Structure 1
Amino acid sequence: MTSDLRDLLAALTPLPDKADAYAADTYVQETVGQLDEIGMDAARFARGHSMLLMKPDAIVARAVEPTLEWLRDSNFRVVSARTVVADRHFVRALWYFAWNIASPERRRLADLLIGISEALVLVVCGPEDELPTPVRLTSAKGATDPRKRRPGELRHLLGRDNYLLNLVHSPDDPADVLREFAIYFDERARARALAQVCAGTDRSAEAAELADALYSRTPARDFDRGTALDRILADLGETPGGLDPDADEDCARLLRGAWAADRTIDPWSAIVLGSHVLPMRTGSAPQTLRPVGAHDWLEGRS
């Protein structure tokens, strides 16, 4: 199966290293196997569909409704929507091939973030185009780096100009769709989602209902750095001498000290402050698989 799968993946990503790695990946094998069982062409599914993960920060930000509007205006249709419970293993599975350059602090913040709320996964389809749906969605979604976001992109629309708290995630290319589909959903959930995919009905209203349920369990919170620092200082019951609230290193030292002493501080405030003052990358370990952009796809197909 691995050689056949490698041939399939070679047509779904412009990165040979990714095709090689994914051919032995359990998540990819599960999705392709289940698609084969129901007679659905894996390549067509992966090119024509993508997933948009509304992370816990998107739930806190009440970002689902504007996202649904943006998807509709951008000619994407939501064909399935499901709530997922994430844990630290979910995070490491999803970003396995990039997480080796994440700093220890970023991993800690990510683990705190998944404890804030469940997430919402939207399965979307788009028109047949020169670009596959996942490539078009990722390009239109906007960059992780706030400085690179442009008007009209989803992340620009949603605001919260923050590298870590970027609200949404989507697979880069069709090969990633096959892998991430099995990370989000177990076999039974995949079967239900695929039945909805086959029906092709717009399920935006259902997504909005799921969002309302998540909102009822997850309070809206402030994304402001100063507010986060004030809450942490209140939790600690003291302000360290010489603390400059505008100095990143002072605030980073405050967080590291609280964690080292196992002090109880508000998780959301730690996430917000940490996202501003802690390093996101180690700068030492090589990235296993680089992200794919629309240019990569077009060049790889030419």
Structure 2
Amino acid sequence: MTDDTLRTLLTALTPSKEKVDAYLADTYVLETVDQAQALGIDVERFSHEHSLLLLKPDAIVARAVDPTLEWLAANEFQVVDARRVVVDRHVARALWYFAWNIASPERRRLADLLVGISDVLVLVVRGPVGELPTPVRLAEAKGATDPRKRRPGDLRYLLGRHNYLLNLVHSPDDPADVLRELAIYFDEHTRADVFARALEGRGRSGDAAALGRELYDVTLARSFERSDAAARLRDELGSAAAESPEHSDDAALLDVAWASGRDLDPWSLIVLGSYVLPMRTGSGSQTLRPVGATDWLEARP
């Protein structure tokens, strides 16, 4: 595919000119586009009709699979494939590559701990395409990253863990991101199978629920409460927790925990850190702005 042809395709998949420019040379996008075309798949149509929903390790800890499946069905999203995926720090950086440069060092540290909690569940969903493509509608409906902006009816609001970092689910912003994330989660062989199952159009919520139960079997349900996390860390640190004159302060407690070099409970570090540590830098670094429904509607002819 020539650069001009790819640019034309990407322009139909995102209203963001900056994203089009960035994705022209993005390996993940190129892999998916080349494979889909070789398989005879209409790339534009597929990425308009389908999206992905990632249930992160915190969603597994929260036992959020069944409520998510129920919400999807109630909002006219059909699960057409489901995959258990192993994730690591590199997957996290690939997914949020164009935004991670404004993440604080503390947030990156917490994210690296989070991907070690469990495997994840990736759902391939299909929805009716009206004014908005499926990925745009899903991105809007799942709710904002910022808990203060979530509304009743949003998936993240329903799941009830009102935290900025521990937001349980992720989905692509627009059809261009669907192509990119397909290559991040899945290798070439698996992607071919994902395409085939998705195009069958058969509902696979039962498969997703079964995978969720498998993940629950190897992942403990844990508390998301700040006080529980702090109490666990103080208990594990023992007398070391009192070394700081501000040991009753949660941020200072985390400083002591990091400095101790001890193998502490990662979930408690994640939960407490998600409440008290900065999530963004103040450097003003440039990043690709998320695309929303308004951007899409305004950009269409």
Structure 1 stretches of 4+ with a deviation exceeding 3 A read 241-245
Greater shift in the superposed pair: 94-103 or 233-242: 233-242
Question: Is 2:67–2:159's contact at 8 Å kept on the other side of the alignment?
Answer: yes
Q: 2: CA distance between counterparts of 1:150 and 1:174?
A: 24
Q: Which residue of 2 aligns with 1:299?
A: 298
Deviations 1:205-225 (A, max 9, x none): 000000000000001000000
Q: Which residue of 2 aligns with 1:193?
A: 194
Question: Is 1:2–1:24's contact at 8 Å kept on the other side of the alignment?
Answer: no
- Cα distance change, pair 296–237 in 1 and its aligned pair in 2 (3 A): same
SS in 2 for 1:50: strand
List aligned pairs for 1:263-302, cutoff 5 A.
263-302=262-301
Q: 2: CA distance between counterparts of 1:209 and 1:287?
A: 41
SS in 1 for 2:224: coil
Is 1:41 the counterpart of 2:42? The answer is yes
Q: Which residue of 1 aligns with 2:174?
A: 173
Q: Which residue of 2 aligns with 1:218?
A: 219
Q: 2: CA distance between counterparts of 1:233 and 1:2?
A: 56
Question: Is 2:59–2:65's contact at 8 Å kept on the other side of the alignment?
Answer: yes
Q: Which residue of 1 aligns with 2:138?
A: 137
Q: 2: CA distance between counterparts of 1:263 and 1:2?
A: 51
Q: 2: CA distance between counterparts of 1:157 and 1:301?
A: 31
Paired residue type of 1:98: A
Q: Which residue of 2 aligns with 1:161?
A: 162
Paired residue type of 2:88: D
Among the aligned pairs, what percent are the same residue?
66
Is there any run of 5+ residues in structure 1 with no aligned partner, and where? none
Question: Is 1:235–1:264's contact at 8 Å kept on the other side of the alignment?
Answer: no
Q: 1: CA distance between counterparts of 2:177 and 2:231?
A: 40
Distance apart, 1:251 and its partner CA: 1.6
Q: 2: CA distance between counterparts of 1:190 and 1:67?
A: 23
Paired residue type of 1:15: S
SS in 1 for 2:279: coil
Count of aligned positions: 298
Question: Is 2:246–2:252's contact at 8 Å kept on the other side of the alignment?
Answer: no
Q: 2: CA distance between counterparts of 1:231 and 1:33?
A: 49
Q: Which residue of 1 aligns with 2:29?
A: 28
Paired residue type of 1:162: N
Paired residue type of 1:263: R
Is 1:254 the counterpart of 2:253? The answer is yes
Greater shift in the superposed pair: 211-220 or 2-11: 2-11
Scaled by the length of structure 1, the TM-score of the pair is 0.96
Q: 2: CA distance between counterparts of 1:82 and 1:45?
A: 18
Question: Is 2:59–2:169's contact at 8 Å kept on the other side of the alignment?
Answer: yes
Paired residue type of 2:187: D
Distance apart, 1:242 and its partner CA: 4.2
Q: Which residue of 2 aligns with 1:103?
A: 104
Deviations 1:67-87 (A, max 9, x none): 000000000000000010001
Paired residue type of 1:146: P
Q: Which residue of 1 aligns with 2:235?
A: 234
Paired residue type of 1:149: R
Q: 2: CA distance between counterparts of 1:61 and 1:287?
A: 33
Deviations 1:170-225 (A, max 9, x none): 00011100101100111011011111011110000000000000000001000000
